[in-house]
Chain A
């Protein structure tokens, strides 16, 4: 399974509006179009994960991720914050690109870790952060994944 097959354009948002970490997590969760209760649980779980250590892995990238029962299959979303946001990343720099990765606690195909790995690989490609900032349509994000991610 390639990364591009796991995203659709409706889970891609190139102009995140939130001004703080909590709101941004909520906005990302919103992309998954879950019911209110599930969205609230997911937000709480993500926030707990962030409290254990930020998922801002440096170079303007964060990959908030967790396992939770509110989804029954692997769900992904991508959000871009053109002006950047303080996400308490390991390098202390603002984060521009957010990859949300949510998996159920038990998956038959166990894709969570491979996908986490693939996204980390993709985002660490030196050219990718620049490419991401130039996107103007969600479809272009999918095309970039098709071109540069495994």
Chain B
């Protein structure tokens, strides 16, 4: 596959390196001759020096027979122009790195489709997502929202001695009759099973459950973990990454305090984040961190624009007793340093971008959020109408494929854990968990 990589900064360089190592035919376009030289010396790639937003340069790089363009310069506008040009040349997959939210989403001049871009990566937002995953990773391996966030699919590993270990689903249903979880899959030895009522759960199993969002916290203790501790997060530095993270935390109902040194930025954040506590303060001051109660915080994220400041405040937070400390790092060289100094984890917007793009490249189509860590099964949300084959029938009368299960029925405000005598009615939303082989059969029932 011929891949054009636009930009030989850290992101472009790493992408080119990984893809060329995988024997892809890589051409790097870079406007800075020195950087281009460095890339051609270090990597097994062709380099073209020039402006990636210029047609002659793209043509010289061979855009007419490329199957993929990765526009990852640090300039949104260049990435956008190159991407639109690429679509005109019929390039199949176009990925653009776009940081400015004004260029996508509501109110932007052109939609993603109009620009012909298959995947837009916002490094700062990608990084915030990864940070959030890290903060909660001690418990769940996957947490995917469905039905506008009313129901979540949660994946976790059952610990030795957990209350659920050694029990069948029927026994659990009896023990936990006031809960509303549906166990939709058990992954054991790399194989995904759709459980029946007599299926037994073992320690070490990876479980996937559908849970009403309000009850997610009760799941961890059942699997043998302490109750989810991520209730309060402190973000030192109101950067774009910090703001995106605060937005994510807000949607999860997690309390969040943001510290920033710049008063004007504080004001902006306070306006835009109605639920966060925004304080005007310097996060590299140990006394201040102590006064703000960093010792009792579940997650501390150092997210200023300066790597040195982040490292310092991470170390201070860790020393002061914060549970999990994640540091934002911009320079790739520093990433390796983090584990050595005792900070729990590090994230980098550029590395997050590289990872997200590589995931896309490998799969060959758009990344879905329902990508799960240890199973290839799919979770699908269907809306039922009068025409649906399944509508109105009692579930036990429907020949539902054995490699699929209805996890939850949403009817108005009600969340129903389906049993054999329940019916799926027009207007319901239904969440189905299915192994790949069963997906087409399931689709027929709902079409």
Contacts and interface: CB of A to CB of B under 8 A. Distances in A.
A90 B288 contact: no
A73 to B, nearest CB: 15
Chain A to chain B: the 8 pairs with minimum beta-carbon distance, closest first = A53-B281, A120-B277, A53-B280, A117-B255, A90-B266, A52-B288, A113-B293, A110-B296
A146 B257 CA distance: 24
A78 B80 CA distance: 53
29 contacts: A45-B291, A48-B287, A49-B288, A49-B291, A52-B285, A52-B288, A53-B259, A53-B261, A53-B280, A53-B281, A55-B279, A57-B278, A58-B278, A65-B291, A66-B291, A67-B291, A67-B293, A90-B267, A91-B270, A103-B293, A113-B232, A113-B293, A114-B231, A114-B232, A116-B293, A117-B232, A117-B255, A120-B277, A124-B274
B63 interface: no
Interface of A: 45, 48-49, 52-55, 57-58, 65-67, 90-91, 103, 105, 110, 112-114, 116-117, 120-121, 124
Contacts of A116: 257, 277, 293
A50 to B, nearest CB: 10
Q: Is the interface of B mostly helix, strand, loop or mixed?
A: mixed
A103 B279 CA distance: 18
A103 B290 CA distance: 12
Contacts of A54: 280
A129 B261 CA distance: 26
Interface in B253-304: 255, 257, 259, 261, 263, 266-267, 270, 274-275, 277-282, 285, 287-288, 290-291, 293, 296-297
A110 B297 CA distance: 10
Given A48-B287, A65-B291, A90 B296 contact: no
Contacts of A48: 287
B287 to A, nearest CB: 7
Nearest to A48: B287
B239 to A, nearest CB: 17
A113 B297 contact: yes
A90 B291 contact: no
A58 B267 contact: yes
A53 B282 CA distance: 7
Nearest to B270: A58
A57 B288 contact: no
